[in-house]
Each structure stands twice: as C-alpha cells, then as structure tokens.
Chains A and B, each alone.
Chain A
Amino acid sequence: MSSQVDDATQAAVARLEAFLATRDGGAGPLRVVDYVPITGGYSRAMSRFTVEDERGRRGYVMRADPPPGTSILDTDRTVEWTILSSLCASGSIPIPAARWFDETGDELGSPAIIIDLVDGHGLPALIAERPGDHAAFVARLADAVATVHAYDTASLPSLMDRPTDWNAYLDGCIRQWVDAEAAHAEREPFMRLVAAWLDANRPPPAPLTLVHGDFQAPNVLVEAADGRFLLIDWELTHIGDPREDLGWWSLAATSQPPDIIAADAELFFDRYRERTGLGEDVVNPATVAYFTVMSSANVFFSLIRQTSAMTREETTAMGIAYMTNAMPFMHGVWIDAMARAGGWKQGAR
C-alpha cells in the first residue's frame, strides 16, 4: 500500500517539476520537495509542496480535480481560475495569490490550480489554541467577509451570472430546490418543505453582492506575519445575497464547532453592519438563519447529484457513500434554522 502511495507521490512530483520548470523556473535546476497531500477537503484533491532552485525555497498549494465521480462537489476549475485571477488582480480581496492553471490536466494529471502557500495557520487551529482571542477573530471575520461583500460586482468576469434583481434571484434559488428534488434518485420531502418555507418566509431584500459561497473557519487562513485573514476555496463563489455567507458559516460551524460568531453575535453583527452599511432589519440572527437554509443549496444539490449517481451505479466513491450520513444532519440544521428564523411555529426539535 505504501509503495503505491510513494509511486503516486513520485509521479505527482515529476509532473509538477516539468510544469513549473517553464513557469517558475529560470534559476538553475528546479526541484519539488516536501510534497504532501492535504486531507480535510471533500471536493478537490489538495496538496502542498515546496519549490527549490537558485532563487531559494517557496511554497505552493495545488487544487486539482479528483478522479471523475469521486468528489461531492461538481464545479469547474476554468471558472474558478477565471474568477480567482480577477480577484487577485484587483488586489482588494484577501486571498492567496493564484499563480498557474493547467486547464486540460494534460500536464498535471487533471485540471489544477496552483496558489501560494500561506505562511500562517488555519483559523480552526487558532480558535482551539487561543480562546482569549475569539473576540478579535470575530471582528476580523466581520471585516474580511464585509470586504468580499463590498467588492464591485461590475468588475467581476463576464462568465458569472448576474441576477436582475433580488426578488428574481430569490425566485430562482427557491425554484432550484424543487427542480433539484425532481432530478434526485428518490423523493426528498425536506427539499420541497424548504422550497415552500423559503417562499412563505422571505426576509427584507439586500443588495446583491459577491458571495464567497463557502465561508467557514477551515477556509480562513491567518498570516503569521501580520495576522491578516485570507479566504480560500472560492469554487462556489457567485453573485447573490450577502447573507448567504453568514448563513453558511452558521451551518458549517454546526458540524465543526465551536461557532465563534454565534458566541459573540452582537459584536459580529454590529461590526458587519457598520462595514457594509446594511441595517439591523436586513442583517440580524433571524434573517441569517433564513439564509442558513437557503445557502445550503450549493453543497446539498451537489451532494444529492452524487448520491443519485451512486444509486445509478455510476460511482462507488467512499466520500459519496459517507455523505449520505450528512443528509439527515442537514435536515436537522434546516429545521433548527427555520425555528431561529421564526418560521417554524413549534420551535426547534
């Protein structure tokens, strides 16, 4: 087993050295060392590595498509690269630099994006190690996500969908729940419940903004040098309601506690409202709970597409089988969020 792993690593290193020689080379022989697969993500095949040559050492992260039928998220690397490149070029969004892209996978084995390795820590580790700093983290999270939501959407790549207005956007989002359920391998009444509930309990509208799409603690890196918060994993980014990010944070934190925003909600919401100019009627725990339900669509729809593929015997990927356990968990999150939003009359379970 370990020799298979070694063979795979050696092949990946050889491909990277050949790929980078023409892009990051030019300073003597280039070597890729310390290549390590990164576990923890369920969608992309991630790895980190160091490049050595006469210019010195520099670290990178590769986000590659996994073998077909094994990811729980089906997204497009070309779209991600186009958006990442645009955001990097703007200089106003806190993200690691996106360096190179193998669109076809001819050179790296599958379509892959290479970004800078951040010298710092993942936010979950800091949350665990520094409980006394949670309030400071919450304030910086508010700043980071507010920066995303303040981004000028007119400068985003043209391939991104641009909803005409908030109501039309919400109509489309709600319709997707019904359509996705119809395409699923079995009937899923919770999805139809969600669609009916979302339609009957619409919150006040908000301006449509850039939405990260997967705003959660594991996707926040903290730079060692200056403590700057950087957001990673933009594969679900889109233009939508900014409260989707806040709602998704709450959902993700339920499966990976603690939720430091919920623990200091007043600080977070005050700071976020101050940064974005949105009022308390628009951004508050109840409206965010509404978007906890709605924002789960991106991941949940991908999940049921994959479990449908497993039902049709198109895949045997373990990660997909495992995610069948996540579906009841999501159902519970929805019901709890509906209660927090004030639209589940008997309260939480």
Chain B
Amino acid sequence: MITRPSMSRLLDSIKAELTDKIIPGLSDPTLVVNVQMMTAVLGALSVRVEHELAWMREECDRIEAAAEATLAAGAPAPAVVAALAAYRDGRTDSLLVSAAQADYERASELLSRLAEAAYGSGDGARIAAVEDLFAARLAVEQQAIGTFVAVGR
C-alpha cells in the first residue's frame, strides 16, 4: 500500500489549498466560515491520524495502573472493580482503529468510575491521582486541536 505522502501530509496539503486558494475566492461569508471550519477540523485530523492509536493505548495503560493502585490500597470501590474487570475481559490489543476505540471506551468508563469513587470518598490522595489522569488526557486532546478559536465570530 502507499504510505507516502503520509495521511498527515495529505490532510495538511488539503488544508493549505483551502486556506490559500479556496477561501480568497469566496464572496459568501457563510461559505467562508464553513471552509474555515473545515481547515480547523483537518488540522486536528492531521495530528490525530499520526498519534491517536498510540495515545489511546498509553492512556488505557495509565488508567488501568491507577485502578490497580486504588484497589491495592484497599479502597472499597465495587464500581471500579467491575469496570476494571470489564476492561480486561474485553481488551483486544488490536491495531484496528475500531477495536482500539472499543478498548479505549472501556478504559474511559473505568476512568469515570475512578473519578466518582474518588470524589465520593473525599480522599485527597485518590482525588489527586484522578486529577493526574484527567490532566494527562487533556494534554493529549489539546495537542490534537491546538488553540481553539471560534471562527466567524
């Protein structure tokens, strides 16, 4: 199969063409905003196609480790136990994007339950551990989109 130019490079090329040649030729402001939205989405896709699989896998591992640490510390968290079991039972480790997304879904549910259990307990250390997980997730998300500016406003 053809891998060069990479998907990121192709998407960046489309984005550049829209920005440099299509937008200047448009007179309808509604269409200009539409195309500006397209370029913003293409910019994020360019980053995601390069990193998404790795990012999902790395975050799944972080969440699983945090859940293990929570349970190893003896915290009573039956919802976390159930979500961790569901994550492990369903995990495929497949490189197919849809399968990786399914793994990530189960890990995300585990993260939600960790957050709920931490705030429910009022335990500062558990809350801090959850904050770390969300801070890491946010850093990855923002790496993909860069700075969000509402176009057309």
Contacts and interface: CB of A to CB of B under 8 A. Distances in A.
B105 A199 contact: no
B149 A189 contact: no
Given A193-B134, A349-B135, A349-B138, A186 B105 contact: yes
B40 A187 contact: no
A136 interface: no
Contact of B134 (A42, A322, A335): A335
B103 to A, nearest CB: 12
A21 interface: no
Contact of B148 (A199, A325, A345): A325
A332 B142 contact: yes
A5 B37 CA distance: 19
B41 interface: yes
Given A5-B28, A37-B29, A322-B37, A196 B148 contact: no
A40 interface: yes
B119 interface: yes
Contacts of A324: 41, 44
B37 to A, nearest CB: 4
A90 B10 CA distance: 57
Interface size class of B (residues with CB under 8 A): 35 or more
A164 interface: no
A196 B115 contact: yes
Given A322-B41, A328-B144, A1 B28 contact: yes
A218 interface: yes
Contacts of B31: 1
Contact of A328 (B38, B40, B130, B141): B141
**Interface class of chain B by DSSP:** helix
A5 B101 CA distance: 41
Interface stretch (B65-73, B88-96, B120-128): B120-128
Contacts of B141: 327-328, 331
B105 A322 contact: no
Contacts of A22: none
A39 B152 contact: yes
Interface string B82-119: 00000000000000000001000100110111011011
Nearest to A252: B150
A192 B111 CA distance: 9
A256 B153 contact: yes
Given A331-B141, A346-B131, A346-B135, A192 B116 contact: yes
B134 A190 contact: yes
Given A5-B28, A196-B115, A40 B152 contact: yes
Interface string A213-257: 000001000000000000000000000000000000000000110
B131 to A, nearest CB: 5
A335 B138 contact: yes
Nearest to B33: A39
Contacts of A1: 26, 28, 31
A65 B22 CA distance: 28
Nearest to B101: A186
Contacts of B119: 196-197, 199-200
Interface in B14-51: 26-34, 37-38, 40-41, 44
B2 interface: no
Given A331-B138, A332-B138, A255 B37 contact: no
B7 interface: no
18 contacts: A2-B28, A37-B29, A186-B105, A186-B108, A187-B108, A189-B108, A192-B116, A193-B115, A196-B119, A196-B120, A319-B34, A321-B41, A324-B41, A327-B141, A328-B141, A331-B137, A345-B131, A346-B135
Q: Lowest 7 A-B CB distances belong to which pairs?
A: A328-B141, A322-B37, A329-B148, A192-B112, A187-B108, A196-B119, A189-B111
Given A192-B112, A199-B119, A324-B41, 15 more contacts: A1-B31, A2-B27, A186-B101, A189-B115, A190-B134, A193-B112, A193-B115, A195-B116, A197-B119, A200-B119, A200-B122, A321-B41, A328-B142, A332-B142, A349-B138
Interface of A: 1-2, 5, 37, 39-40, 42, 181, 186-190, 192-193, 195-197, 199-200, 218, 255-256, 318-319, 321-322, 324-329, 331-332, 335, 344-346, 349
Interface of B: 26-34, 37-38, 40-41, 44, 101, 105, 108-109, 111-113, 115-116, 118-120, 122, 124, 127-128, 130-132, 134-135, 137-139, 141-142, 144-145, 148-153
